[in-house]
Amino acid sequence: MVAKPFLKWAGGKTQLIKEIEKILPSNIIKKNFTYIEPFVGSGAVMFWMLNNFPNIKKVVINDINVDLINTYNIIALKPKEIISLLKQLENEFYSLLNNNDAKKNYYYEKRNLYNLRTENKSTQAALFIFLNRTCFNGLHRVNKKNEFNVPMGDYKKPIICDSENIMAVNKVLQKVEILCGDFEQTLEYAEENTLFYFDPPYKPLSLTSSFNSYSNNEFSDTEQIRLNKFCNKLDCLNYDWILSNSDVKGKDVNDNFFDDLYADFNIQRVDARRNINANPEKRGFLKELLINNYPINFNTI
């Protein structure tokens, strides 16, 4: 079975993979290469790279979200244990499907237990997946106290325990070095033939569209600027990189935040689908940015 993301993820990059594929640096991917993803999230691009490029000699993933990285580590180290825990959660949740009040109570009890962070790492990882599969739109949002605060979603019978995929993910993660911390630490793992892919928390298009409370440390404009400096550093060191982010210019034609930051690099605007809004009428296609630091030869990909 081909490994795929084990999480639903607001802003996941499955829909952008075809656009990313078009701009992959052919001089890198035709050789043995290292792939580094400093903001891994649900890992859609990482899994796609592992499934499609057997010549990857090393993969390094990183994220500042401790709970997310704990879940990756548990799947990599103890897949059967987390499957057992998820199956129990799934059976208990399914037994309440015909009782909305009991189902809600169960969800919020597990959310409170998760936020206490008193369980062992395997149980915390199982709770992380359970909440992700049953919360509103797979949204991961925490408050300043690092408490997960997303309400329950409206699903008839969500898949909570995908045993086959967890085993497939476990298999590919044996090739992956898993880090937790600031994105800049990933530079230590770069080698001669390395491709970085950056998918940071997006700059919000408006005050009400901010879903980037992904950890209890906000990814502010200051952080976006620090990331840009890191990308410039990688460019000076001759490492190739791709970066995705929101197209703030699509909301305000006078907002040149990213156009100015990345003026020295290739900026493309590509179509992406926005599915987070609670109002279905406000969902739909919008532009996102794909930025890279090397010449693109579309005919060779």
The predicted structure's pLDDT at residue 216: 60
pLDDT along the chain (301 residues), means of 10: 91 88 90 96 96 94 97 98 98 97 98 98 98 94 94 95 98 97 98 96 73 66 97 98 95 93 97 61 75 79 43
Give pTM, 2 decimals. 0.92
The predicted structure's pLDDT at residue 281: 47
As a whole number of angstroms, the distance between CA 225 and CA 200 comes to 12
CATH of region 71-164: 1.10.1020.10
The predicted structure's pLDDT at residue 132: 97
User: Cα-flanking dihedrals φ and ψ of residue 173, to 5°?
Assistant: -70, -10
Q: Judge if 14-64+181-290 and 71-164 fold alike in CATH terms.
A: no
The predicted structure's pLDDT at residue 299: 45
Given a contact cutoff of 8 angstroms between Cβ atoms, the answer to whether 244 and 16 are in contact is yes
User: Cα-flanking dihedrals φ and ψ of residue 61, to 5°?
Assistant: -120, 150
The predicted structure's pLDDT at residue 15: 86
- Provide the residue type at 71 as one letter: T
Residue 250 vs residues 208, 210, 246: alpha-carbon distances, Å: 16, 16, 9
Alpha carbon of residue 102 to chain centroid: 31
The predicted structure's pLDDT at residue 230: 98
Given a contact cutoff of 8 angstroms between Cβ atoms, the answer to whether 35 and 154 are in contact is no
DSSP secondary structure, the chain, as one string: -----SS--TT-SGGGHHHHHHT--HHHHTS-EEEEESS-TT-HHHHHHHHH-TTEEEEEEEES-HHHHHHHHHHHH-HHHHHHHHHHHHHHHHTTTT-HHHHHHHHHHHHHHHHHT-S-HHHHHHHHHHHHHHBGGG---B-TT--B-PPB---SS-----HHHHHHHHHHHTTEEEEES-GGGGGGG--SSEEEEE-PPPPPSSGGG----SSSS---HHHHHHHHHHHHHHHHTT-EEEEEEE-GGGT-TT--HHHHHTTTSEEEEEEEEE---SSGGG-EEEEEEEEESS---GGG-
The predicted structure's pLDDT at residue 301: 43
As a whole number of angstroms, the distance between CA 153 and CA 100 comes to 12
Given a contact cutoff of 8 angstroms between Cβ atoms, the answer to whether 45 and 37 are in contact is yes
Given a contact cutoff of 8 angstroms between Cβ atoms, the answer to whether 155 and 39 are in contact is no
The predicted structure's pLDDT at residue 256: 94
Which string of b and e fits 86-110 if b means at least 16 CB within 10 Å? beebbeebeeeeeeeeebeebbeeb
The predicted structure's pLDDT at residue 212: 41
The structural domains of the chain, with segments of one domain joined by +, span: 14-64+181-290, 71-164
Q: Which CATH class is domain 14-64+181-290?
A: alpha beta
